[in-house]
Structure 1
């Protein structure tokens, strides 16, 4: 046994008794000490009041409560230390309840004698003799209002003084004093009634908190305002002589403003999440910024009012500097049960649509497969049986990597992924913290780049932060003590180039004045199959923001896609977030340089031969490399074609059919699948010319006739801008004019490999056949919806 009684026993043992009477007194004293020790051991203090039964509150970074959770008995009680409450509250409490608190041993004899005398004189209780320690004794061990109960309460008070210091006893009172209803403790009452922590109480509010435990049911300020204000003023009057007169007058005239029925519910789903992760922890601090959270919730609620029933939305805002989450909204309106508000869509696995494309092009840059202006094929293609289409059901033919990314074209992305490898792509995403979840039995395949696997908004935001953090993706941090987890997703150079493309379209777009109005934000939209999920994720120097909109149950929303429903909300959030007054200029990595490349080969411009460098473009280069154009399905290994041409006429000849002077022509090949999209002058300029007279007997190319521009089994849909779908077709190989038939009817005759436009006027199946002069043919079957 330690404490005061232990020290007293030690003193008694050191005393040298000088008489028999002294020995008897000391013996009785020792016997009393032993009796007290035995009783203390036989009747220990109850556990209540030792901080094991607190409610929980989740706080923003500035201490603002986000959401509170009651204890197992549904009582609201928040832990608070002596130094975490207003000094004026402690001062008022001691003066009003127990002026001798700091010196008495738990029982104030003077107060008890005064109370007994008043009871004898007036016949009823005028003032109580209970000390604060006795009130704490009743808290830890409730007793009936009787003489026996009072005696037990006094003994418990003495026992408390043996075990705890004055500050510890006072802290039990601060945390457990009844405050009305299911509220206990000054912190819970201050937050529930006044909406503030007890450290920020005004003198008037401190007086109110002081008097509440006397009659917590009859003085509740949310129900009995007049009674509570009168009791408050009584405490204020008692503080005359301790508080300045001006403070007294201001406290007496201060209006009593109470929050009625207000529930703490800012970032409710985040609060639930971190509360579940830390069971038993009374106070959970988060990284959330209250201003950013209110902005996001207000914007989502405003957008939800314009959305159909059951549609929800989610948003996440992360600070790129330390990966701390500043705003977290898992649903659009937590108070609307029709929108599945309890489903946290920040963590839900959903199809990301096209939001993975920036990482694909960035990895292709790192692997030396492309540069920013690499020529890609936006035309019907079949990749090992997989034939993707574009969102708008139309094709553009030759496009650059930058254009394909900005316009979110599907076929070029699948072409790049086919060369990169879907398994490798998914593995590198996983290594960067973006884990793809495939349907049961499925594995990484080409459809992943178009949303064929699931991920979360939280992981997408962490991955997109790599575009503003030199290629380092980060795991969003919800609490200040969460570790800072970073993983390499892209090289600094690839991250710089992809961000520049998303923000401004790339070098060529800037050179011709085509620049997206994105206000310093690099973002990408996405829409999952069937309009189930609409996404936008973007970054600037300071923040990464992600938006998801859709039905939590996965039902479609026709007409809802990332660009029209999620992108405007993302811009509104960026506009509302504070930005530093002076933002540092972006540093271009040493691995990034500018260069002029040539289409169709894709290499650096190194000469003036117009047959090789047919079209020049300004490109971002990584590590000063300009990789050649990726080959298509029907392309020859050699990117060049050669023929002999007559010096005068320019017509095609060979050594067997002419003796006139001729020269060799060396021309770069366009990918075969792009030939239907080349304009007539380009086709005539860069393809072999007609044969010269006398060379008609030259055998054909030997290449079978093949239709380009459509794939058998393809489904063609009308679009708002093109109600009658039009196919751009051409042929490869064969000899002579080509006859075009649709469902057996001749509709046109083209010269050799010229482009043929075929309109699909009727819905249903269309058999398109091409026949050359020697009877060779090819056929494709397409269906118009």
Structure 2
């Protein structure tokens, strides 16, 4: 008999569970609430909030924000047995039924917190059948969620009048604090309003709310819910509440993240409120002073070098500036980078052993297959050291270095640093790339400079915290029944979801694996050069930045003065600044030195004012050596003046200096001899300058001292031998493979000029293999060419010859 009863009981229990399961499947829970997307700072405070798709402020309250005081106040006021019932309180229902039937006491509906959640999720008219549905839904909710999650849902859905729902929304919009930062008086205030949200309106009915708040505080005091002193302090606290605007810091990054992670109620960014606020204020105030110069926008990015986390993100000077296109994100806008890629190029050349800081490079007019770069000030210095070429941002030496390194070598490295536009443009890019002839963003450039600050190691910038968000049914955390497979909240659609994986962690979509772009030695050398304070690109009034921390920085100005850049770094931060107009309109005053660098200095003074000037020490892979003061190369036989220079052992070129050559000349100095024609007597040894032909030609064209070797002994059999010693011969005009359009009426002519070694006295010009005329090596020759394809040839008095092809069209 007992076994039979036991079987009946077990069967009834299983049948009830099966019925509940079937009902749960037939009547699934209502859809999750649609939360207001929030973007928070690294400390959890809200940076930016958006209305949810139904135009309500419903900001998700996280479990950690529900303080014990808030829990106690809500539970004591709304549902004392919340932690013990299964969603419905039978005792409360019987008591309420009795009061309602016999008219004794206050008429109530015996709603538990769980039943209120069910009603808030699925609003219905207040009828008896609706109440039954609420009860069923309450039991269903209890099956799926813990008590903490149900309380969280309740606090996220309770009304506060108008379009404000949820404790967090009310706390931020009325008290400008998150729920876990509220005082006891403020907490109780928010606990009492949901029962009468249309009557107790914060900011309008504060006196009535204050009286109701104090009544409940005294009731809580009688029940010893809170310490006596806390109650007294709360009663004495005035109610100062009014409606405030929702937080709107970092609008560009907020919009970017909300679009990138649709449906996430809270996105935890890496921004820091202090640096973000200061960067926005500095940028806005600085750009106001530039309007009279025709400059209306700026963008700023601040990166923590130790974590690669973005701590400040300013996409424009004013997001609401419609006339200035303030909603454009200047951090991601593709612009011409000007000269900002030069430090990276020189670092690559150092790693390839091509250059060292003290080595001299030609800075003379040059023609690279038709490309004729010019320095910013339209002048040339003849020869400059690598460090001077970089600090002064000279264009011609940079193009020479890129020509030696190779455009593909540079673009391949930039592709590794996630330069997306460069990666697309790579097949079409040429030597002008290093002068800004490519597309780049402030985000890409700042990430590249952060790699220089980290010993050449590149890693993607981080804008969100990796453990930022988990989503679930109803958006309250993982479900009790299926914590590993929560249903994603997808109510915030975006067109950017084609390749979005559900429930992906909020991290940078690019792989976080580091890439070595430069060696630590090359990165150190570039930083050492860029941190010099004696430089031409110091802005006017830089003396006021005497407490500026030691930084390495580089400026850039794009063609047409449309973009001004200044990017700098120290051990702790990398800061990128772009200034210009989103319309692309240039300004005569727009340069990286005068316009972008002052804002960069202001930012560093704010971020790291008077901080210790910590800097990297030279890595073990770097060493010193003596070099010739004239060329920066390893001293040769005739290098009396020497200085110390860094170099990379085993990599840096060990080619010896030949800036002077010893020649055997006649006693009167009119003839030079080679070993084959050296007389037995009547000669002497003398040192002569041995510059590159193009440098020698430049010096002579500028009227500078340029001593040439006397002509070779005319009776020597080697005078026309192509093996005769000396520098190579090169045609500097016309440009190889160039097209020239000449006017018949104006009788225009072409210029012929060459660069020859110091031993060359005379050259011979040919047009289409027909002799034109002889000329001095430094002489400029003009002639009228025939139309069509023209071959120009030049031969020197040592038997060397060179030719170029050009195309001439007559109009």
Q: Same fold (TM over 0.5)?
A: yes
Q: CA deviation at 1:162?
A: 6.1
Report the aligned-residue RMSD.
4.7
1:324-343 aligned within 5 A: 324-343=309-328
Q: 2:309, 2:463 within 8 Å by CA — same for their partners in 1?
A: yes
- Partner Cα separation in structure 1 for residue 49 and residue 728 of structure 2: 74
- Partner SS, residue 376 of structure 1: strand
The 3 A distance-change label for structure 1 pair 434 and 14 is farther
* Pairing 1:662–2:683 present: yes
* Pairing 1:107–2:89 present: yes
* Pairing 1:522–2:507 present: no
The 3 A distance-change label for structure 1 pair 383 and 94 is same
Q: CA deviation at 1:74?
A: 2.7
Instruction: Tell me the equivalent position of 2:802.
Output: none
Q: 1:602, 1:628 within 8 Å by CA — same for their partners in 2?
A: no
1:497 to 525, 546, 552: 525
- Partner Cα separation in structure 1 for residue 552 and residue 142 of structure 2: 65
* Pairing 1:376–2:361 present: yes
- Partner SS, residue 57 of structure 2: coil
* Pairing 1:564–2:594 present: yes
2:664 to 632, 644, 656: 644
The 3 A distance-change label for structure 1 pair 342 and 281 is same
Q: 1:61, 1:289 within 8 Å by CA — same for their partners in 2?
A: yes
Deviation digits for residues 489-517 of structure 1 (CA, Å, limit 9, x no counterpart): 1111111111111112799xxxxxxx998
Deviation digits for residues 291-327 of structure 1 (CA, Å, limit 9, x no counterpart): 1111211111111212327722111111111211111
Name the TM-score, length of structure 1 as normaliser: 0.77
The 3 A distance-change label for structure 1 pair 682 and 500 is farther
Q: 2:38, 2:46 within 8 Å by CA — same for their partners in 1?
A: yes
- Partner SS, residue 154 of structure 2: helix
1:37-56 aligned within 5 A: 38=19, 41-42=22-23, 51=32, 53-56=34-37
Instruction: Tell me the equivalent position of 1:65.
Output: 46
Q: 1:533, 1:550 within 8 Å by CA — same for their partners in 2?
A: yes
- Partner Cα separation in structure 2 for residue 418 and residue 246 of structure 1: 78
* Runs of at least 5 residues in structure 2 that lack an aligned partner in the other structure: 467-506, 536-542, 740-752, 763-774, 781-811
- Partner SS, residue 240 of structure 1: helix
Higher RCO, Cα 8 Å, sep 6+: 2
Q: 1:119, 1:125 within 8 Å by CA — same for their partners in 2?
A: no
The 3 A distance-change label for structure 1 pair 593 and 339 is same
* Pairing 1:484–2:467 present: no
- Partner SS, residue 362 of structure 2: strand
Q: CA deviation at 1:141?
A: 3.3
2:202 to 221, 225, 234: 221
2:373 to 388, 393, 410: 388
Q: 2:33, 2:121 within 8 Å by CA — same for their partners in 1?
A: no
Q: 2:415, 2:422 within 8 Å by CA — same for their partners in 1?
A: no
Q: 2:549, 2:604 within 8 Å by CA — same for their partners in 1?
A: no
Instruction: Tell me the equivalent position of 1:422.
Output: 407
The 3 A distance-change label for structure 1 pair 537 and 358 is same
* Pairing 1:76–2:76 present: no
1:259-658 aligned within 5 A: 260-308=243-291, 311-437=296-422, 443-481=428-466, 482=507, 484-504=512-532, 519-578=549-608, 586-598=616-628, 600-607=630-637, 609=638, 613=639, 616-623=642-649, 627=653, 641-646=661-666, 652=671, 654=673
Instruction: Tell me the equivalent position of 1:205.
Output: 186
Deviation digits for residues 214-262 of structure 1 (CA, Å, limit 9, x no counterpart): 1223323144333333332232222113222322222123233335331
Q: 1:322, 1:484 within 8 Å by CA — same for their partners in 2?
A: no
Q: CA deviation at 1:36?
A: 9.6
The 3 A distance-change label for structure 1 pair 240 and 601 is closer
The 3 A distance-change label for structure 1 pair 82 and 46 is farther
Q: 2:199, 2:205 within 8 Å by CA — same for their partners in 1?
A: yes
The 3 A distance-change label for structure 1 pair 271 and 49 is farther
Q: 1:107, 1:134 within 8 Å by CA — same for their partners in 2?
A: no
- Partner Cα separation in structure 1 for residue 314 and residue 405 of structure 2: 36
* Pairing 1:672–2:693 present: yes
1:91 to 72, 76, 79: 72
The 3 A distance-change label for structure 1 pair 461 and 295 is same
Q: CA deviation at 1:462?
A: 1.4
- Partner Cα separation in structure 1 for residue 144 and residue 418 of structure 2: 52
Q: CA deviation at 1:430?
A: 1.7
- Partner SS, residue 390 of structure 2: helix
Moved more, 577-586 or 384-393: 577-586
- Partner SS, residue 326 of structure 1: strand
Deviation digits for residues 136-179 of structure 1 (CA, Å, limit 9, x no counterpart): 23223323234444454455445555665544432331222222
The 3 A distance-change label for structure 1 pair 653 and 441 is closer
Q: CA deviation at 1:586?
A: 2.1
- Partner Cα separation in structure 2 for residue 278 and residue 347 of structure 1: 17
Moved more, 658-667 or 290-299: 658-667
Instruction: Tell me the equivalent position of 1:768.
Output: none
The 3 A distance-change label for structure 1 pair 477 and 104 is closer
Q: 1:107, 1:158 within 8 Å by CA — same for their partners in 2?
A: no
- Partner Cα separation in structure 1 for residue 580 and residue 390 of structure 2: 23
1:234 to 215, 219, 239: 215
Instruction: Tell me the equivalent position of 1:774.
Output: none
* Pairing 1:182–2:203 present: no
Name the TM-score, length of structure 2 as normaliser: 0.75
- Partner Cα separation in structure 2 for residue 333 and residue 567 of structure 1: 20
Q: CA deviation at 1:46?
A: 6.5
- Partner Cα separation in structure 2 for residue 44 and residue 216 of structure 1: 35
Q: 1:600, 1:614 within 8 Å by CA — same for their partners in 2?
A: no
Q: 1:537, 1:545 within 8 Å by CA — same for their partners in 2?
A: yes
State how many pairs are aligned. Answer: 698
The 3 A distance-change label for structure 1 pair 178 and 650 is same
Q: 1:143, 1:152 within 8 Å by CA — same for their partners in 2?
A: no
- Partner SS, residue 575 of structure 2: strand
- Partner Cα separation in structure 1 for residue 142 and residue 402 of structure 2: 74
Deviation digits for residues 383-437 of structure 1 (CA, Å, limit 9, x no counterpart): 1110011111222221111100000000111111111111222122223433453
- Partner SS, residue 625 of structure 2: strand
Q: 2:729, 2:754 within 8 Å by CA — same for their partners in 1?
A: no
- Partner SS, residue 337 of structure 1: coil
- Partner SS, residue 560 of structure 2: helix
